[in-house]
Structure 1
């Protein structure tokens, strides 16, 4: 299993076991991580899986596409490392990944 750390705005860490090939959104929703809703089911259409990737990990991820950027720019907590969890596929290289959940998601 691949360990992913979701940290809420209060600093509470939710470490989950993710499976290679699933998205960070499905890993969160399957493990009931608060603040990651995924209302659209992972189709990059709603922005309810907004996360902020820890800067030490951001360079390991693929680039955002224009659709993802458009949705993220509509969120109140948009940052340079903002991503949609539905757009990031879990790989072995992401073991230990730290993700911050923006306050507005809670």
Structure 2
């Protein structure tokens, strides 16, 4: 079974939070998406990155697949630069229900 990347690509605070929530193993879609997003991050430090879209059935973990790399990026930048101009990430949801889920 796979585990969350622990090579520095996912912020340690986020790994601790996921461990405390007993999110010890990524789902298949999370593993694939996070690898793709982190690979895209490592290509260039510029803001001009390719878009990545994922598709999977309801309840498969797509939201976390996007949020883990996004939050890791924000936390790392805050660690490196201290206070940074906001917003760093915009999350758009197609429904109120999903927006509430993401906010939690």
Range class of TM-score, shorter chain: under 0.3
Structure with greater proportional helix content: 2
The structure number with the bigger radius of gyration is: 2
Structure with greater proportional strand content: 1
